[in-house]
Amino acid sequence: MAHSISDFLKRYNETKNLNIMITVDESWLKDHVREQSAVKGSLSDIMIVIKDNINVKGLPNTCGSAFLKNYISPYNATVIEKIKKAGGIIVGKANLDEFAMGSSTEHSAMGATKNPVNPEYVPGGSSGGSAAAVAAGLTDHALGSDTGGSIRQPAGFCGVVGLKPTYGRVSRYGLTAFASSLDQIGPITRTVKQSAELLQVIAGKDERDATSTDVPVDDYVGNLDRDTVKTIGVPFHLLNDGVHPDVRATFEHTIDILKKNGKKITDISLPHLSYSIAVYYILATAEASSNLARFDGVRYGIRHSEKVDSINDFYSINREHGFGPEVKRRIMLGTYVLSSGYYDAYYARAQKVRHLIYEDFQKALKTVDTIILPTCPTPPFKLGEHLDDPISMYLSDVFTVSTNIAGIPGLSVPIGHSEKGLPIGMQIMGNLYEEARILQLGNAIESLL
């Protein structure tokens, strides 16, 4: 891993073929390092890559879209201000699926990112650039955003650690919204301890984000070595169809290790989780169609044509040229489920099932301390393998979307490799604001493996 800015720039140039970064501005970085050298804190001298949908003042915030390719952010997101106050160094902006909509980082106007473990494979998404940056040794720390698995799934595919905090645990101010009731910023790091250290800095109430919660922030780092997880729930009924044999074998091997080290494994039922993908792709697309309405070429972003016959033509031309096919697909899905005559049949019903999924977790977490599942049902897939099959792409998030729907935290830790040497991750889920507990189990697993 790079230990200095010169090391980072050297490693960045060595890995350009992986297309990990969208922006590395050496002039901006030089001024930023000079400014941060006077700041002493828990992240002093720590270099951090930022997903390119989180605003950093003075740097582009492209969201991986042609629509915003020339947009320079005029302000810092709250998480960036907190990182700067703690002495951290922002080294650049990482690639992502356009507007965070994707599971492979192939849906980026800036081109696909490749997995550093094997460049023939995807790094996951939508925070694939952030996960690849850590896996490739550019930095040990990165920030991503997670709407349905976009931190945990790429962490699993790249063999690193990814944490989606409880909804509201970390401010979303300055995060370009995809689905506002699901989005959450979180760390992607090389170790569980590093995730705890980064979460310690970015967590907490923010008056600029009405959805951030005023719940005390635990001492994640100080409590990391505590052993508060005694009973672990596993919904074995979800591990049948569609789970790759290598994933299942690696997951079961990890369970055996946990049993040998005194953990009680309990079979639990989460009966409504089979509806998670359907619920997610109704709620997320509905919110996306609303959030992305602001991108019209009037206030910012591309303006493709000034000579049009009507305002509707003006919007249509700008959005046609600005958005990629996956974003258009989700906007159309979301507009459909919100339209007259379909709202009650789809969106309202999905909200009811969302509550049932939340209740499933609450019931289970009264009997166990944490819940575990594979992060993904398969190892990483090849570049281009699912591009023409959106449903297969969406199903790679089948184990991760439920935590966003329920608002609970989830942590992906690496637990092994497939027969082809591709990373396999395990997801640890806890109750609301129990990041400390899932980090403790993740830290224990990291030590055992």
Angle at 408 between CA 217 and CA 285, to 5 degrees: 125
Written as six digits, the tokens of 268 are 């639990």
Neighbours of 114 (CB within 10 A): 23
Strands (E), 35-140: 47-51, 89-94
* 126 preceded by a cis bond (ω within 30 of 0): yes
Phi, psi of 413 (to 5 degrees): -125, 145
349-364 and 276-291 helices, crossing angle to 10° = 130
**With b meaning 16 or more CB within 10 Å and e meaning fewer, what string describes 289-319?**
bbbbeebbbeeebbebeeeeeeeeebbebbb
Phi, psi of 203 (to 5 degrees): -75, 155
Catalytic residue among 73, 104, 108, 126: 126
- The C-alpha atoms of residue 244 and residue 187 are separated, in whole angstroms, by 27
Q: Is 85 a catalytic residue?
A: no
Q: Do 187 and 155 contact (CB within 8 A), yes or no? A: no
- The C-alpha atoms of residue 317 and residue 340 are separated, in whole angstroms, by 25
Q: Is 150 a catalytic residue?
A: yes
Strands (E), 286-407: 370-374
Written as six digits, the tokens of 58 are 């003075």
Q: Is 51 a catalytic residue?
A: yes
**With b meaning 16 or more CB within 10 Å and e meaning fewer, what string describes 174-193?**
bbbbbbebbbbbbbbbbbbb
Catalytic residue among 150, 171, 289, 402: 150
Collapsed DSSP state (helix, strand, coil) of residue 198: helix
Strand order in the sheet with 370-374: 21-23, 89-94, 47-51, 141-146, 184-189, 161-164, 410-417, 423-429, 370-374, 231-234, 264-267
CA distances from 282 to 9, 62, 244, 328 (A): 42, 25, 27, 15
Written as six digits, the tokens of 137 are 């040794």
H/E stretch holding 317: helix 311-322
> Strand 141-146 vs strand 423-429: parallel, antiparallel, or unpaired?
unpaired
Q: Tell me how far apart the 2 most distant CA atoms of the chain are, in Å.
A: 72
Cite the active site residues. Answer: 51, 126, 150
